[in-house]
Structure 1
Protein backbone atom coordinates (compact mmCIF):
# COMPACT_ATOMS: atom_id res chain seq x y z
CA UNK A 1 0.00 0.00 0.00
CA UNK A 2 2.84 2.38 0.81
CA UNK A 3 4.42 1.84 -2.62
CA UNK A 4 1.15 2.72 -4.37
CA UNK A 5 0.93 5.97 -2.42
CA UNK A 6 4.56 6.82 -3.20
CA UNK A 7 4.02 6.15 -6.91
CA UNK A 8 0.87 8.29 -7.01
CA UNK A 9 2.20 11.40 -5.30
CA UNK A 10 5.26 13.56 -5.27
CA UNK A 11 7.25 13.00 -2.12
CA UNK A 12 10.33 14.26 -0.42
CA UNK A 13 13.23 11.91 0.22
CA UNK A 14 13.74 13.72 3.53
CA UNK A 15 10.15 13.16 4.63
CA UNK A 16 10.29 9.46 3.75
CA UNK A 17 13.62 9.14 5.61
CA UNK A 18 12.13 10.82 8.69
CA UNK A 19 9.13 8.48 8.53
CA UNK A 20 11.37 5.41 8.28
CA UNK A 21 13.49 6.63 11.20
CA UNK A 22 10.39 7.18 13.36
CA UNK A 23 9.09 3.77 12.29
CA UNK A 24 12.37 2.16 13.38
CA UNK A 25 12.33 3.98 16.72
CA UNK A 26 8.67 3.09 17.41
CA UNK A 27 9.28 -0.57 16.51
CA UNK A 28 12.35 -0.72 18.74
CA UNK A 29 10.47 0.84 21.66
CA UNK A 30 7.65 -1.67 21.12
CA UNK A 31 10.05 -4.60 21.55
CA UNK A 32 12.14 -3.37 24.50
CA UNK A 33 9.82 -4.98 27.05
CA UNK A 34 9.84 -1.70 29.01
CA UNK A 35 6.88 0.65 29.12
CA UNK A 36 7.67 4.30 28.37
CA UNK A 37 4.09 5.55 28.42
CA UNK A 38 1.68 5.85 31.36
CA UNK A 39 -1.38 3.56 31.48
CA UNK A 40 -3.57 6.56 30.58
CA UNK A 41 -2.13 6.49 27.03
CA UNK A 42 -4.22 3.36 26.35
CA UNK A 43 -7.38 5.44 26.21
CA UNK A 44 -5.75 7.70 23.58
CA UNK A 45 -5.42 4.67 21.25
CA UNK A 46 -1.60 4.78 21.32
CA UNK A 47 0.10 1.47 20.48
CA UNK A 48 2.25 1.17 23.59
CA UNK A 49 4.76 -1.54 24.52
CA UNK A 50 2.14 -3.03 26.85
CA UNK A 51 -0.32 -3.17 23.92
CA UNK A 52 2.25 -4.81 21.63
CA UNK A 53 3.36 -7.36 24.24
CA UNK A 54 -0.24 -8.60 24.40
CA UNK A 55 0.11 -9.46 20.71
CA UNK A 56 3.13 -11.65 21.46
CA UNK A 57 1.19 -13.41 24.23
CA UNK A 58 -1.88 -13.98 22.01
CA UNK A 59 -1.07 -13.66 18.30
CA UNK A 60 -4.75 -13.31 17.40
CA UNK A 61 -4.96 -9.93 19.17
CA UNK A 62 -3.46 -6.42 18.94
CA UNK A 63 -2.25 -6.18 15.35
CA UNK A 64 -1.92 -2.38 15.39
CA UNK A 65 1.51 -0.81 15.37
CA UNK A 66 1.10 2.90 16.05
CA UNK A 67 -2.45 2.84 17.36
CA UNK A 68 -5.09 0.45 18.68
CA UNK A 69 -7.95 2.01 16.69
CA UNK A 70 -8.35 -0.77 14.11
CA UNK A 71 -8.10 -3.49 16.74
CA UNK A 72 -10.86 -1.82 18.72
CA UNK A 73 -13.04 -1.45 15.62
CA UNK A 74 -12.59 -5.04 14.42
CA UNK A 75 -12.70 -6.78 17.80
CA UNK A 76 -9.05 -7.85 18.00
CA UNK A 77 -8.18 -5.53 20.91
CA UNK A 78 -7.10 -7.21 24.15
Structure 2
Protein backbone atom coordinates (compact mmCIF):
# COMPACT_ATOMS: atom_id res chain seq x y z
CA UNK A 1 0.00 0.00 0.00
CA UNK A 2 2.77 2.47 0.85
CA UNK A 3 4.34 1.87 -2.56
CA UNK A 4 1.13 2.96 -4.26
CA UNK A 5 0.95 6.10 -2.12
CA UNK A 6 4.52 7.01 -3.02
CA UNK A 7 3.78 6.62 -6.72
CA UNK A 8 0.57 8.65 -6.39
CA UNK A 9 2.37 11.46 -4.56
CA UNK A 10 5.17 11.42 -7.13
CA UNK A 11 2.82 11.92 -10.07
CA UNK A 12 0.48 14.40 -8.36
CA UNK A 13 2.92 17.21 -9.08
CA UNK A 14 3.12 16.30 -12.73
CA UNK A 15 -0.66 16.10 -13.05
CA UNK A 16 -1.24 19.47 -11.36
CA UNK A 17 1.41 21.12 -13.51
CA UNK A 18 0.02 19.60 -16.69
CA UNK A 19 -3.50 20.80 -15.89
CA UNK A 20 -2.28 24.37 -15.43
CA UNK A 21 -0.10 24.13 -18.51
CA UNK A 22 -3.07 23.03 -20.60
CA UNK A 23 -5.07 25.89 -19.10
CA UNK A 24 -2.35 28.35 -20.11
CA UNK A 25 -2.30 26.96 -23.64
CA UNK A 26 -6.08 27.21 -23.95
CA UNK A 27 -6.07 30.77 -22.63
CA UNK A 28 -3.33 31.70 -25.10
CA UNK A 29 -5.44 30.31 -27.95
CA UNK A 30 -8.55 32.14 -26.71
CA UNK A 31 -6.42 35.26 -26.18
CA UNK A 32 -5.87 35.54 -29.91
CA UNK A 33 -9.63 35.61 -30.43
CA UNK A 34 -10.88 37.61 -27.41
CA UNK A 35 -7.80 39.76 -26.60
CA UNK A 36 -7.50 38.76 -22.93
CA UNK A 37 -5.13 41.06 -21.02
CA UNK A 38 -1.57 39.82 -20.48
CA UNK A 39 -2.01 40.24 -16.72
CA UNK A 40 -4.30 37.21 -16.52
CA UNK A 41 -1.84 35.12 -18.54
CA UNK A 42 1.08 36.24 -16.35
CA UNK A 43 -0.84 35.45 -13.15
CA UNK A 44 -1.61 31.96 -14.44
CA UNK A 45 2.03 31.46 -15.45
CA UNK A 46 3.13 32.40 -11.92
CA UNK A 47 0.51 30.02 -10.49
CA UNK A 48 1.88 27.27 -12.73
CA UNK A 49 5.40 27.81 -11.44
CA UNK A 50 4.33 28.02 -7.79
CA UNK A 51 2.02 25.01 -7.95
CA UNK A 52 4.65 22.94 -9.72
CA UNK A 53 7.15 23.84 -7.01
CA UNK A 54 4.65 23.20 -4.22
CA UNK A 55 3.56 19.82 -5.59
CA UNK A 56 7.18 18.83 -6.13
CA UNK A 57 8.16 19.75 -2.57
CA UNK A 58 5.10 18.04 -1.09
CA UNK A 59 5.77 14.90 -3.12
CA UNK A 60 9.41 14.91 -2.05
CA UNK A 61 8.54 15.37 1.63
CA UNK A 62 5.92 12.63 1.35
CA UNK A 63 8.40 10.20 -0.21
CA UNK A 64 11.14 11.08 2.31
CA UNK A 65 8.67 10.76 5.18
CA UNK A 66 7.58 7.33 4.04
CA UNK A 67 11.22 6.30 3.58
CA UNK A 68 11.98 7.29 7.16
CA UNK A 69 8.90 5.48 8.50
CA UNK A 70 9.68 2.32 6.55
CA UNK A 71 13.32 2.49 7.66
CA UNK A 72 12.33 2.77 11.33
CA UNK A 73 9.89 -0.12 11.14
CA UNK A 74 12.24 -2.41 9.21
Fold in common (TM above 0.5): no
TM, length-normalised to structure 2: 0.39
TM, length-normalised to structure 1: 0.37
Greater per-residue helix proportion: 2
Relative contact order (C-alpha < 8 Å, sep 6+): which is higher?
Answer: 2
Larger Rg: 2
